[in-house]
Amino acid sequence: MNNKYTKQDIMQIVEKENVAFIYLQFTDIFGVMKNVAITKEQLNKALDNELMFDGSSIDGFVRIEESDMYLRPDYNTFAVFPWEESFGKVARIICDIYNPDGTPFEGDPRYILKRALGHAKEMGYEMCVGPECEFYLFQTDDDGKPTLRTNDDAGYFDLAPVDLGEGARRDMVITLNKMGFSVEASHHEAAPGQHEIDFKYDEALCAADKIMTFKFIIKMVAKKHGLHATFMPKPVYGAAGSGMHVNQSLFKDGKNVFFDKNGERELSAIAYNYLAGILKHAKGFCAITNPTVNSYKRLVSGYEAPVYIAWALTNRSPLVRVPAKRGASTRLELRNPDPSCNPYLALAVILESGLDGIKKKLNPPYPVDKNIYELDEEKRKQLSIDSLPESIAEAIDYLNKDELIKKAIGSHACKIYMEAKKLEWDEYKNKITPWEIEQYLTKF
């Protein structure tokens, strides 16, 4: 990756743009963005990797007795937010987390993705990713707290005045463009209040950084419009859930290695091997790509969410779809991830799964040209079509059995992640839900 900025460039831009505060951003293991805000007077020290923070206070990092950690800004991620506060402008830099001895912190999600990309580079490949992020816009109450009331009754591709979120979405696109995004599509999704904004594919690390920035920008712009944006996978019962389809391809020497003009369906042997690896490890990485209790309320039949481990060309019911475009645009679309996932971890485990398929020269089953949702269990069994886990508890069990995925995450992060998700499931199991009250309080 070419260096976009030098230290001197950043210092000059901060002065020229009247930047008062700089957010040093990083992501915890559960995909939540964190900020350490500094003034411009501290920027020189930060750019020299001299700023420390307490890692024990961040979910999934370290214990209190080993809490000192360093923030190392990635100069290439420097950006000035395209709005101004009363005190001046705000900029951000995404940071890597380092130990006091100068080694990368093994629980840093960005480092985990970098390590996976390093494995790909050793094999001569670079991963490119184009995410499709869906989200809901809800109204807020008089106290500014989110409700479940949408501000439209629109459907797929509807326009204003039916889509009352169009103004907010337009501002989101404008803001994203100012932040360096190349937005390719923006439209209303299937459910009232649901939207999608797609941006151009990028090298995987940049794509993961952009996903985190995207979620931050969407929430900020929504708030300015008096709305609440949520990336919760299934906020409304009976409506479509929000996914984050991951379009991915591998490049070598500037060429897309998934494309082969003479290959079957114009796909290369490498593409088929990679696809087979994805299908093989889908159950194992599901706890990472679909990380919450709520994620599995989306992964049910009837709402175009992928439930079955299979692949197809135009058919949208399987886990993986191969869009029609070929040449440099040849790609695999993995449809189960949702936007509550940590993009660094998700891309790392997806990539390692595909690389495993290439290393072992795995072959995928035949593509499925039928609507899998309409097949009964016996027919799916005949076609050897398996299903994704039905809960985060089941997904964690599969993660624990998949040595490749555990290795991709690393022992430190994996242990903490699984423990936290088991606690999340236990807490959920013990809750008394409104559904139970409605069903049983007067019946018994």
CB 55 within 8 A of CB 61: yes
Encode pLDDT of 209-250 as tens digits.
999 999 999 999 999 988 999 999 999 998 889 999 999 999
Give me 42's structure tokens: 């501290």
- Catalytic residue of the set 335, 338, 356, 402: 335
Return the minimum-mean-pLDDT range out of 154-163, 298-307, 350-359, 435-444.
Answer: 154-163
- Catalytic residue of the set 108, 132, 152, 352: 132
Encode pLDDT of 388-420 as tens digits.
999 999 999 999 999 999 999 999 999 999 999
The Cα 363–Cα 255 span in angstroms is 22
State the virtual CA torsion across 189, 192, 194, 197 in degrees, nearest 10: 50
What pTM, to 2 d.p., does this model score? 0.93
Classify domain 115-435 at the CATH topology level.
Creatine Kinase; Chain A, domain 2 (3.30.590)
pLDDT higher than 60, residue 168: yes
> Residue 316 catalytic?
yes
The Cα 320–Cα 247 span in angstroms is 10
CATH number of 7-104: 3.10.20.70
- Catalytic residue of the set 72, 92, 108, 134: 134
> Residue 54 catalytic?
yes
Looking at residue 129, its pLDDT comes to: 97
Q: What confidence tier does 59 reach under pLDDT thresholds 50, 70, 90?
A: low
Encode pLDDT of 129-141 as tens digits.
999 999 999 999 8
> Residue 298 catalytic?
no
> Residue 115 catalytic?
no
- Burial class from Cβ neighbours inside 10 Å (0-12, 13-18, 19+) for residue 20 reads middle
Looking at residue 166, its pLDDT comes to: 76
Domain range annotation of the chain: 7-104, 115-435
- Catalytic residue of the set 316, 369, 419, 426: 316
> Residue 333 catalytic?
yes
Residue-averaged pLDDT of the chain:
90
- Catalytic residue of the set 152, 163, 333, 338: 333
- Catalytic residue of the set 108, 189, 209, 338: 189
- Catalytic residue of the set 110, 228, 245, 326: 245
The Cα 6–Cα 26 span in angstroms is 20
> Residue 321 catalytic?
no
> Residue 126 catalytic?
no
Looking at residue 64, its pLDDT comes to: 43
C-beta atoms surrounding 304 within 10 Å: 13
